[in-house]
């Protein structure tokens, strides 16, 4: 299966309400290197979609995909830092969006 296929399939599962399947599919795509899957995996960990909430893993995946050019991840990373009161990191998170 190609990298973008994981994203599309995960999106279909998500829209169908099969959240655990969506999480597992997106996770597989993220480990294959798909930045869209990495961004979504960060979101799934951030909000607890199909898994338990894990802010550290959310930060890891947001940061990984942001460094590869996924602007939404940089924005989500900055918001996550802001919500946690890490204003120094918030500045760096939003800075990464311009990369």
* Section 82-86 average pLDDT: 74
Q: pLDDT (tens digit, 9 = 90+) per residue, 28-80?
A: 999 999 999 999 999 999 999 999 999 999 999 999 999 999 999 989 988 88
> Which of 1.25.40.10, 3.40.50.720, 2.20.25.10, 3.30.365.10 is the CATH number of 3-70?
1.25.40.10
Angstrom distances, CA of residue 81 to CA of 25, 78, 98: 27, 5, 17
pLDDT value, residue 1:
75
pLDDT value, residue 91:
52
* Section 7-22 average pLDDT: 96
């Amino acid at each position: 299966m190609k990298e973008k296929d994981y994203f599309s399939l995960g999106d279909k599962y998500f829209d169908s309400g099969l959240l655990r399947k969506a999480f597992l599919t997106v996770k597989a795509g993220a480990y294959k290197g798909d930045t869209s899957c990495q961004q979504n995996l960060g979101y799934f960990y951030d909000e607890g979609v199909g898994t338990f909430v894990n802010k550290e893993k959310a930060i890891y995946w947001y940061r990984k995909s942001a460094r590869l050019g996924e602007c939404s991840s940089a924005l989500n990373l900055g918001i996550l830092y802001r919500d946690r009161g890490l204003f120094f990191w918030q500045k760096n998170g939003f800075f990464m969006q311009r990369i």
